[in-house]
Structure 1
Amino acid sequence: MSHTRNATHLSYRADGGGAVTLRAALLVIGTLLLQLGFITSYLGAFHHPTPHRVDLDVVAPTAQLRDRTAHQLDGLSGSPLDAHPVSDEAKATRRIKHRETDAALIVNPSGRTDRLLVAGAAGNSLAQATEQVVTAAERSAGRTVAATDIVPASSGDSRSLSSFYLVIGWCVGGYLCAAILAISAGARPASPRRAVIRLAVLALYSVLAGLGGAIIVGPVLGALPGSFPALWGLGALTVFAVGAATLALQALFGVLGIGLAILLVVVLGNPSSGGPYPYPLLPAFWRHIGPYLPPGAGTWTSRSIAYFQGNAVTWPLLVLAGWAVVGTLLTLLASAIRTRVHPDSPELLNPPAGRPRV
């Protein structure tokens, strides 16, 4: 009987060791940390949106009135506004449409009601928050304000969130495609040839994914206006940028690279993208990292294409291109170094039977 119990105990230990290896346990712990990071990042970014230095142009008939009003708005508690004197309404309107400022206050010296120009297409939550802050400031001065949305979102994009969801879909497709390509034959590309093939497949996938997203958001659903070819190109670049970065991380860190890609794109990138809450409403950490991550760069660009005639897209496009170029170079470099370090690796010379060569 004792011999039977000992054999059963050894069998359980053997089965448990095979089911949960040390490597698997570490990956599970990493997943837990990633999950907690997800919760922390989203709640940290979204639980208390507060305006911070929202760009506001101030227009008035005299320089003295412009300067005095801008100074008063700049001095509001908590610095919700960053006010700039502007000579005339036409210039302020142009600056809003070129995404150089967020809103404009048109002061009426002969009456008690001023006008506030906003751009709902740049983020409905930002337009509402700006109106609330300016309304409160005007009320304290015994004045009122009437808001006018000079760049409204389309009827199919009432909350100005279609750009955000479109870009998030492209980003998810990018890292999932890269993960599948890597897992199909080991997370680290065994040779430069395999790395090139994976990048080529990713490029083809990116073109198709960009086209599909542009078709769905435009002709199918009518959620976003703007240039169809421009949205298609943005989609292809976004998908490839995220996919190339994921391939690079996998080439450098193996399966851990998938988790790192999710950390950058999903855990940090999504809440800092400026989608649900534009940058001036986000806490400092997310406000500062958002423009440098693919979801933020893509969301800004897609809104500019849809509503602002493609203005102010140079920097975000450079960010996406940087992710694509650096990801591609690191993927090729890591595979070349591995080939040099392990030139006689059986996987390089003769991959296991049945394993895809991609």
Structure 2
Amino acid sequence: MHNATSGAGARGAFTPGTLALVVGVFLVQLGFLLSYIGSFHHPDPQGIPVAVVAPQQAADRLDGLPGHPLEPTVVKDEQAARERVEQRDAEGAYVMDRRGGQDTLLVASAAGGPQAQALRRVGEKVAAGQDRRLKVVDIAPSGDRDYESLTAFYLIVGWLVGGYLLASLLGVVAGTRPARPGAGALRLAGVAVYSVLSGLGGAIVVDPVLHALPHHFVALWWLGALLVFATAACTMALEVFCGIVGIGLAVIIFVVLGNPSAGGAFQKHLIPSFWRAIGDWIPTGAGTTAVRNIVYFSGNALGTPLLVLAVWAVAGTVLLLVGSVRRREPGLTLPL
């Protein structure tokens, strides 16, 4: 009798639904490997926007380099070139000295160390090919405690993890679909409070505790709150329409696709075109860019990343509330 019961229990464990979940996890794992290795295994500069202080003929030579590593725009002088970098219209600048044999390359390692290094390598080859010397000037270096400007990325990842883990926990404990719109609104209110506290916690860690990103406490706090809320709201919306599978979809969006394309380890102009195309429109990439622009570039070019985060937050909120109106499937869940 005991053996028969055990056999029935084992057969019950391997239901079609369980098998589908296992296959889903396996596919997410393969997607994780493909996404990370595919984007990082061969970083190669492609179309890095640079300001050029030189005759148009020289700019055309830069534009025609093998592999098209640079996307040059001619500007009138070095000050204009610096402004384009600081305002995030360019990632670097090549300044040709027409009176001597030494050119100057302006880089901004705060936007990403690997990208600055790639610009340096390209610039050195260009100067050597013209029998000229090259001086490299980092006009926006990352902080002493922010190696390769990686802190922004890991701060964003930490906030994102908190957002989708909270939503996942609520889905498991309280049900993936709120019982009514009022319950959905209450859940969102709780997430909002958590998001404000989460943003505060992250800002405390990177500023007064570790001094990795100092002097921008309030701006980082509220950026973190927006990011966590957007992540959690979208994860809950996915759960409403897809059930527990929505958690896996959130992982695919925010981690499998979002992390490699965010510009953390390698910036967008160093990774293949697919990841380069999606990075700015996923909260991971938008958040990483926003943190760097707040800390190192005087808040320039914040409009697009903040708009992206706001759109995700609003979309998640609306879809969660709309999904709460749909007829609830019977099942044993808590009322919230």
Give the structure-2-normalised TM-score.
Answer: 0.97
> Does the alignment pair 1:333 with 2:322?
yes
User: Can you list the C-alpha shifts for 1:81-107, whole angstroms capped at 9, x where unaligned?
Assistant: 001110011111111111110111110
> Does the alignment pair 1:302 with 2:291?
yes
Describe the SS at the equivalent of 1:184. helix
State which of 14, 20, 26 in structure 2 corresponds to 1:32. 26
The match for 2:263 is: 274
User: Can you list the C-alpha shifts for 1:170-215, whole angstroms capped at 9, x where unaligned?
Assistant: 0110000111111112222222122112111111100000000001
> Does the alignment pair 1:43 with 2:37?
yes
Does the 8 Å CA contact 2:178/2:335 hold for their aligned counterparts? no
Q: Hey, what's the Cα distance between the residues in 1 that align with 2:183 and 2:223?
A: 26
User: Can you list the C-alpha shifts for 1:19-65, whole angstroms capped at 9, x where unaligned?
Assistant: 332212211110111011101100001000000011111113xxxxx
Q: Give the AA of the match of 2:109.
A: G
Describe the SS at the equivalent of 1:338. coil
Distance 1:265 1:118, change over 3 A: same
The match for 2:213 is: 224
Identical amino acids, percent of aligned pairs: 48
Please identify, of 17-26 and 154-163, the stretch whose mean Cα deviation from structure 2 is larger: 17-26
State which of 43, 52, 55 in structure 2 corresponds to 1:58. 52
> Does the alignment pair 1:284 with 2:262?
no
The match for 2:131 is: 142
The match for 2:113 is: 124
Q: Give the AA of the match of 1:68.
A: Q
The match for 2:335 is: 357
Describe the SS at the equivalent of 1:48. coil
Please identify, of 20-29 and 50-59, the stretch whose mean Cα deviation from structure 2 is larger: 20-29
The match for 1:20 is: 14
Describe the SS at the equivalent of 1:322. helix
Q: Hey, what's the Cα distance between the residues in 2 that align with 1:190 and 1:27?
A: 25
The match for 1:89 is: 78
State which of 91, 97, 101 in structure 2 corresponds to 1:108. 97
Q: Hey, what's the Cα distance between the residues in 2 that align with 1:106 and 1:67?
A: 12
State which of 143, 154, 157 in structure 2 corresponds to 1:154. 143
Does the 8 Å CA contact 2:45/2:270 hold for their aligned counterparts? yes
Q: Hey, what's the Cα distance between the residues in 1 that align with 2:239 and 2:99?
A: 65
Aligned length in residues: 336
Q: Hey, what's the Cα distance between the residues in 1 that align with 2:30 and 2:133?
A: 45
Please identify, of 109-118 and 328-337, the stretch whose mean Cα deviation from structure 2 is larger: 109-118
1:67 positional shift: 0.5
Q: Hey, what's the Cα distance between the residues in 2 that align with 1:313 and 1:74?
A: 28
Q: Hey, what's the Cα distance between the residues in 2 that align with 1:289 and 1:155?
A: 30
Q: Give the AA of the match of 1:243.
A: A
The match for 2:196 is: 207
- Structure 1 residue runs without a partner (length 5+): 1-6, 61-65
- Structure 2 residue runs without a partner (length 5+): none
The match for 1:63 is: none
Describe the SS at the equivalent of 2:144. coil
The match for 1:4 is: none
Describe the SS at the equivalent of 1:159. helix
Residues 68-79 of structure 1 mapped to structure 2, 5 A cutoff: 68-79=57-68
The match for 1:3 is: none
> Does the alignment pair 1:187 with 2:176?
yes
1:8 positional shift: 6.8
Q: Hey, what's the Cα distance between the residues in 1 that align with 2:80 and 2:313?
A: 36
Describe the SS at the equivalent of 1:114. strand
Q: Which of the pair has more CA radius of gyration? A: 1
User: Can you list the C-alpha shifts for 1:94-133, whole angstroms capped at 9, x where unaligned?
Assistant: 1111111011111011222101011010001100001101
Q: Give the AA of the match of 2:48.
A: V
Does the 8 Å CA contact 2:179/2:335 hold for their aligned counterparts? no
> Does the alignment pair 1:322 with 2:316?
no
1:9 positional shift: 6.5
Does the 8 Å CA contact 1:53/1:79 hold for their aligned counterparts? yes
State which of 140, 161, 164 in structure 1 corresponds to 2:153. 164
